[in-house]
Structure 1
Amino acid sequence: MSRKKPLIHEMTESERPREKFELYGGDRMSDAELLALILRTGTRNLSAVALAEEILNLDIPGSGLEKLYHLSKKDLMEIHGIGNVKATEILALCELSVRLSRLKSRERLSFNSPASIARYYMAEFRSYRQEHLKMMLLDSKNHLIGERLISKGTVNASMAEPRDIFGEALRAGAVSIILIHNHPSGDTTPSSADLSVTQKILEAGELLGIHLLDHIIVAGTQYKSLKAEGYMKLQAL
């Protein structure tokens, strides 16, 4: 029978998460120890570190800290010792992580680089268990002036109507747009619906003078640019 992991008060002072952070800094700590600092307390039988390990070992997509991007409040509150407050704090931490990642990526954001755009959205999209289709709105100088969520759920033509997309673009004063969506399956291969939606928006945009520059599919840390792959070609009139 394996030995029960020590509770916080049973640890030496230098092993306790808060004291260890103060002594050595965060780079000397495990993922579970850092998460334990957010949890602060465990249960009668589990230390905060052991409770953090339970979260990181949940049977959900990803490994280690990556699992935090896929957690729902329901997932968290099913763990004994995680109530509404702790669940909310963990989800807030995840959202801060996404925003920090996007701030860092935004400094290198180039609308001529699909890789740059994909990196900008990867942290956000990793947290979604269903497809999200977003639109980036650009002005005449290729500056980002806004973004809009077009649809949630499987991307299909009925959820990406040109009148809705270009209505938003016209209201924002955009002269070009970029579509980007995620594949929770982890496979960046475009579906027939992805290609149909792209062609429909591409052709409608040319008629309205608002150009679709690219449609990028993100899956985990991988991406695919439909423009670079040769899928975005206007039919001869």
Structure 2
Amino acid sequence: MKNTTMVRDLPEQERPREKLIAHGVETLSNAELLAILLRVGTKNVSVLHVAENLLSLYKDSGLSSIVKLAPAQLSEIAGVGPAKAATILAAIELGRRIAQEPFYQKTAVTTPDDAARYIMPRLRYETKENFAIILLNVKNQILSFKIISVGILNASLVHPREVFEEALKNAASSIILTHNHPSGDPKPSSEDIATTHRLVKAGQIMGINVVDHIIVGNNKYISLKEQGLMD
């Protein structure tokens, strides 16, 4: 017995691929988008049902949880398998890279929100803390983005020498500090604040302004500058 209506049994205008072509990709639900990537279901289960099952497994943590799955984990879901898992993860990675593209070189960072939108696709899904810097020119345009350390943020992992070496190498006028909290909560710890103060002071000596420290969580961020925690 079939678990649900098969896609081929739907009116043509309601099938995900035809709906995308006729009305645009933005009109599709998450399940319909996944169904297009999966292409086919199983003998008795619609591809839409497979997509819905996949999403239901992560309903509490959200769609972004799929990003953190290893190919083998995704392959174990009924109706997915290695080939489909590879397709889904490749599509996600393309989306992440596209999200990063517009900010290179000529984008000016004038607010914490500008910085957070640039950082979010780079660090949001990391499962370990990544400490990085955004290097800016005199017009506050992005020169580069550099990962400085990976691991729990502390003074031993983030040394001013490494931070400002990158700034000097790229002739940066100023920098923005940033790191992620894999827990999803961007609230700064005492170590976060202490490390920030240390780097601000080092920047003053080097003549390179530390503009802000942005901590990103699960689709949210905190600016230490906005919180009055930079000094």
Match of 2:3 in 1: 4
Match of 2:46 in 1: 47
Counterpart of 1:136, as a letter, is: I
State the shift of 1:145 in Å: 0.8
Q: Which runs of 5+ in 1 are unaligned?
A: none
State the shift of 1:164 in Å: 1.4
Cα gap change, 1:112/1:18 in structure 2, threshold over 3 Å: closer, same or farther? closer
Match of 2:230 in 1: 232
Match of 1:178 in 2: 176
Q: What is the alpha-carbon distance in structure 1 between the residues aligned to residue 137 and residue 110 of structure 2?
A: 14
- The runs of 4+ residues in structure 1 deviating greater than 4 Å are 103-110
Q: What is the alpha-carbon distance in structure 2 between the residues aligned to residue 85 and residue 151 of structure 1?
A: 34
Which of 147, 150, 154 lines up with 1:149 in the alignment?
A: 147
State the shift of 1:90 in Å: 1.2
Give secondary structure in 2 for the equivalent of 1:157.
coil
Q: What is the alpha-carbon distance in structure 2 between the residues aligned to residue 135 and residue 7 of structure 1?
A: 49
Match of 1:38 in 2: 37
Cα gap change, 1:39/1:209 in structure 2, threshold over 3 Å: closer, same or farther? same
Asked if the contact 1:69/1:126 (under 8 Å) is kept, the reply is no
Q: What's the RMSD between the two structures over aligned residues?
A: 2.7
Q: What is the alpha-carbon distance in structure 2 between the residues aligned to residue 12 and residue 145 of structure 1?
A: 51
State the shift of 1:3 in Å: 7.2
Cα gap change, 1:140/1:12 in structure 2, threshold over 3 Å: closer, same or farther? closer
State the shift of 1:180 in Å: 1.3
Q: What is the alpha-carbon distance in structure 2 between the residues aligned to residue 133 and residue 58 of structure 1?
A: 31
Deviations 1:55-88 (A, max 9, x none): 212247632x433444332331221332333222
Cα gap change, 1:211/1:29 in structure 2, threshold over 3 Å: closer, same or farther? closer
Match of 2:195 in 1: 197
Cα gap change, 1:97/1:141 in structure 2, threshold over 3 Å: closer, same or farther? same
Give secondary structure in 1 for the equivalent of 2:35.
helix
State the shift of 1:135 in Å: 0.7
Q: Which runs of 5+ in 2 are unaligned?
A: none
State the shift of 1:8 in Å: 3.1
Q: What is the alpha-carbon distance in structure 2 between the residues aligned to residue 107 and residue 138 of structure 1?
A: 9
Identity of aligned residues (%): 41
State the shift of 1:28 in Å: 4.1
Q: TM-score, normalised by structure 2?
A: 0.85
